[in-house]
Amino acid sequence: MDKRQFKDKVYTILASLVKAMANPHRLEIIDLLSQGERSVQDIATETGMSIANTSQHLQMLKQSSLVDTSRKGNFIYYRLKSENVYKAWRDLRAIGRENLPEVDKIIQDFSTRKSNLAPITLPELMTRIQHRNVVLLDVRPEQEFDAGHIDNAINIPIDQLATRLGELNKSKQYIAYCRGVFCVFADDAVQLLTARGYKVLRLDEGYADWKIGYAAKAV
């Protein structure tokens, strides 16, 4: 094998990974699986796709070794093959926000409709949570919280928040977070809590970003 053949083979194989990710539904699936393993049925429900379409996208991700599977009873569960898969998605997301103005504009326009307060970043969060008066509020579904969460966070899923306000203290400063930059749960939480007189901010990133950037350093 000469040098040209070597390069053609390597780049072709690597390009197949990019091709597997080059679909909006598959990117959303990768983002979702960063929160923990899910069944085909769960993924279909979360993404608004049929089970058949979801299975097709998952098979392509599996063929490219981006996801792995395990069986529990009658159900097949999918998970990211490694943490590096999420890192690749996170880097792509960052490139998009830095170089494609329309991406950040969509995010800002949506968030502004929910709250006129700018979200805080993970470094800002790590400074703020040292104060006793700050409470980190995880508004993801309970199964995702149980699979992993930011240290010292409390969990009230967004669909339960309106009925569990009695568990919150208006003298506290709350910071709501969910799955990440494109997750709307935290925006909904900020809108609801602000309207009820609570002090609340949204974390720009999510659990998976904290896990990669800070959890390992804390061990």
Q: Of 175, 178, 193, 203, which is the active-site residue?
A: 178
Which pairing describes strands 199-202 and 173-177: parallel, antiparallel, or unpaired? parallel
Contact yes or no for 33/67 (Cβ under 8 A): yes
Q: Where are the alpha helices (DSSP H) in the chain?
A: 3-21, 24-33, 40-47, 51-63, 83-99, 101-114, 122-128, 142-147, 185-195, 207-210, 216-218
Residue 60: how many other CB atoms lie within 10 Å: 18
Q: Is there a catalytic annotation at residue 183?
A: no
Catalytic residue annotation: 178
